[in-house]
């Protein structure tokens, strides 16, 4: 799960990481009021979307007057911001963040993330931070350093010194960097973040270190145990279908193909998608209704698939182990009562209560294609999606 920059900066503050003073605003009037309360004569207005690359996309504006803030806010609020990281549709700008503009001397890159390969937290740092970090990574990767943190020993002062050296900091700035890195590490562990990124971390003209941008991503499986993080969720920034699926405890990912797949178990879901591909089709989604599912969940899952205009045919592939096939059938029928099925549906039910499930579907009068062989089911659904 991602959160907004202004929320990440609230967490930074709690963990002793210095950030510019600022507040979120949802109207142009409020944005101006925030600036007035902050005082000073230069502010930065920043679109709050769950994506980076805002600066280059016109989502960050340095304003020298209150009028400029109002003008920029009016122009941006209610639009969709398209950045290098959003895809062509962009993300809705419903909130702005207004903060004091700092006098930036140099911009660095600093992040920490959970590296699954080494099963360690790693830090990544570069003196060449700022808006072109992707280019730095591609063209001059030697300008980026990284190191692992031993979980038993924790972050070590020598590791912070390594970063300070790479940044070319003065010795007087070392303590401040060490505090920032310790804050990042603690925040990452305590809140189960997957990645925390500061780009840029800057030195100001007076030599202070400040996090001017803040990005945090959390492990979806851990968010539930952190009510403060859960409260930061912004569904407006998330894929609507994926968000709905999450509410029902379904594992759902939108893909760009034409065959909707409803499957139980992540392994079977992967195998089903592979098979669809093998037969020349392309899945519209990954959906695992889970092991111990119920009628309501299945109904919601089926409705989600049918609501996708890209879906030209549906493949239901259930192996009843813990889940019973008649429960799946009832779920499908419950969904069909609420929404009409305009696309062909191929159903393969196998395992516990498979026969009862098939009977339910057969007697429902629905136009379903029953299949008892998975390879054949995949072939059929691909053909039906292509209108063959
Ligand atoms: P993004 O990474 O999405 O482009 P940033 O928050 O990094 O957005 O902002 C882009 C650039 O704008 C930064 O690299 C920095 O140069 C400038 N900037 C952002 N916030 C401030 C600020 N408070 N004071 C001065 N400059 C800022
Ligand atoms: Mg940035």
Mean pLDDT of 273-280: 96
Same domain, 209 and 260: no
Average pLDDT over residues 336-364: 90
Separation between Cα atoms, residue 179 and residue 177, nearest integer Å:
5
pLDDT at 291 over 80: no
CA dihedral (44, 47, 50, 54) in degrees, to 10, reads -70
CATH no. for residue 77? Answer: 3.30.1490.20
CB 199 within 8 Å of CB 130:
yes
Q: Which of 55, 102, 126 gets mutated to test ligand 1 (max ligand atoms within 8 A of its CB)?
A: 55
Are residue 299 and residue 225 in the same domain, yes or no? no
Q: What range does the domain containing 56 cover?
A: 21-101
Residues 357 and 371: their CA atoms lie apart, in Å, by 13
Predicted confidence (pLDDT) at residue 379 exceeds the cutoff of 70: yes
The model's pLDDT over 6-20, given as tens digits with 9 standing for 90+, comes to 999 999 999 999 999
Ligand 1 site, residue 212, Cβ cutoff 6 A: yes
Residues making up the binding site for ATP: 46, 53-55, 99, 102, 107
- Cα distances (angstroms) measured from residue 244 to each of 3, 192, 236, 315, 331: 18, 23, 12, 20, 17
- 144 plus 292 within the same structural domain: no
Is omega for the bond preceding 63 within 30 degrees of 0, making it cis?
no
For residue 48, how far is its CA from the centre of ligand 2 (angstroms)?
12
Where residue 261 sits, what CATH number does that domain have?
Answer: 3.40.50.261
**Listed residues 74, 101, 128: the one ending a domain:** 101
pLDDT-derived band at 388, boundaries 50, 70, 90: low
Query: Are both 3 and 141 inside the same structural domain?
Result: yes
107 and 55, same domain (yes or no): no
Q: Could you tell me if 147 and 193 lie in one domain? A: yes
H or E element at residue 290:
none
Q: Does the reported pTM lie above 0.85?
A: no
Over residues 90-103, the mean pLDDT reads 96
Closest-CA residue to 2 (of 91, 83, 134, 96): 91
CB 60 less than 6 A from any atom of ligand 1: yes
For the segment 305-342, what is each residue's pLDDT rounded down to a tens digit? Answer: 998 899 999 999 998 888 889 988 898 888 888 888 88
Distance from residue 266's CA to the centre of ligand 2 (Å)? 35
Do 314 and 169 belong to one domain?
no
Those residues with Cβ within 8 angstroms of residue 63's Cβ, 6 or more apart along the chain or in another chain: 35, 42, 43, 44, 45, 69, 72, 101
pLDDT confidence bin for 87, thresholds 50/70/90:
confident
The protein residue whose alpha carbon is closest to atom 19 in ligand 1 is 212
The reply to whether 249 and 311 lie within a common domain is yes
Tell me which residue has its CA closest to atom 9 in ligand 1: 55
For 217-268, what is each residue's pLDDT tens digit? 999 889 999 999 999 999 999 888 888 888 888 999 989 899 999 999 899 9
**Per-residue pLDDT at 208 exceeds 90:** yes
Residues 42 and 188 in one domain: no
Q: How close is the Cα of 107 to the center of ligand 2, in Å?
A: 10
* Average pLDDT of the segment spanning 31-58: 97
Give the pLDDT band (50/70/90) at residue 383.
very high
Among candidate residues 86, 101, 116, the one where a domain is terminated = 101
Do 165 and 36 have their domain in common?
no
Residue 22 · residue 69 · CB < 8 Å: no
Tell me how far the alpha carbon of residue 76 is from its chain's centroid: 22
Mean pLDDT of 36-42: 96
CATH code of 204's domain: 3.30.470.20
Domain final position from 46, 74, 101: 101
Q: Is the domain of 123 the same as that of 92?
A: no
| One domain, residues 255 and 363 | yes
Active site (catalytic) residues: 109, 197
Q: Which chain residues have CB less than 5 Å from ligand 2, an ion?
A: 199, 213
Q: Strand locations in 233-366, DSSP E? A: 251-254, 259-263, 285-288, 313-320, 345-351
Does residue 292 register a pLDDT over 90?
A: no
Residue 373 has a pLDDT of 87
List of residues 6+ apart from 151 with CB closer than 8 A? 120, 121
Three-state DSSP class for residue 183: helix
- Smallest Cα–Cα separation from 99: which of 179, 148, 39? 39
State the total domains in the chain.
3
């Amino acid at each position: 799960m991602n959160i907004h920059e202004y929320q990440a900066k609230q967490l930074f503050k709690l963990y002793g990481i210095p950030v510019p003073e600022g507040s979120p605003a949802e109207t142009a009037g409020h944005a101006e009021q925030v600036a007035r309360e902050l005082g000073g004569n230069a502010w930065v207005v920043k679109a709050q979307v769950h994506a980076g690359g805002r600066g280059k996309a016109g989502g960050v504006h340095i304003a020298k007057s209150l009028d400029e803030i109002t003008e920029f806010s009016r122009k941006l609020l209610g639009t969709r911001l398209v950045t290098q990281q959003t895809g062509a549709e962009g993300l809705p700008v419903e909130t702005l963040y207004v903060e004091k503009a700092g006098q930036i001397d140099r911009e660095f890159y600093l992040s920490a993330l959970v590296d699954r390969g080494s099963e360690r937290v790693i830090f990544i740092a570069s003196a060449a931070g700022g808006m072109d970090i992707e280019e730095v990574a591609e063209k001059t990767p030697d300008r980026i350093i990284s190191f692992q943190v031993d979980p038993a020993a924790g972050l070590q002062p020598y590791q912070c010194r390594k970063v300070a050296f790479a940044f070319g900091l003065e010795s007087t700035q070392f303590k401040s960097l060490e505090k920032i890195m310790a804050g990042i590490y603690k925040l990452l562990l305590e809140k189960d973040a997957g990645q925390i990124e500061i780009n840029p971390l800057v030195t100001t003209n007076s030599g202070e270190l400040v996090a001017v941008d803040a990005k945090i991503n959390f492990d979806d499986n851990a968010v539930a145990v952190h009510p403060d993080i859960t409260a930061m969720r912004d569904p407006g920034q998330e894929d609507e279908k994926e968000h709905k699926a999450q509410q029902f405890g379904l594992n759902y990912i939108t893909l760009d193909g034409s065959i909707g797949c409803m499957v139980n178990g992540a392994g079977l879901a992967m195998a089903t998608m592979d098979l669809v591909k093998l037969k020349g089709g392309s899945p519209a989604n990954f959906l695992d209704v889970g092991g111990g599912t119920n009628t309501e969940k299945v109904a919601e899952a089926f409705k989600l698939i049918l609501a996708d205009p890209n879906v030209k045919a549906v493949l239901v592939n259930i192996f009843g182990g813990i889940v019973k096939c008649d429960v799946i059938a009832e779920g499908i029928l419950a969904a069909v009562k609420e929404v009409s099925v305009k696309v062909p549906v191929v159903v393969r039910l196998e395992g516990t209560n498979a026969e009862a499930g098939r009977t339910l579907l057969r007697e429902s009068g629905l136009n379903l294609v029953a299949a008892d062989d998975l390879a054949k089911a995949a072939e059929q659904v691909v053909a039906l999606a292509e209108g063959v």
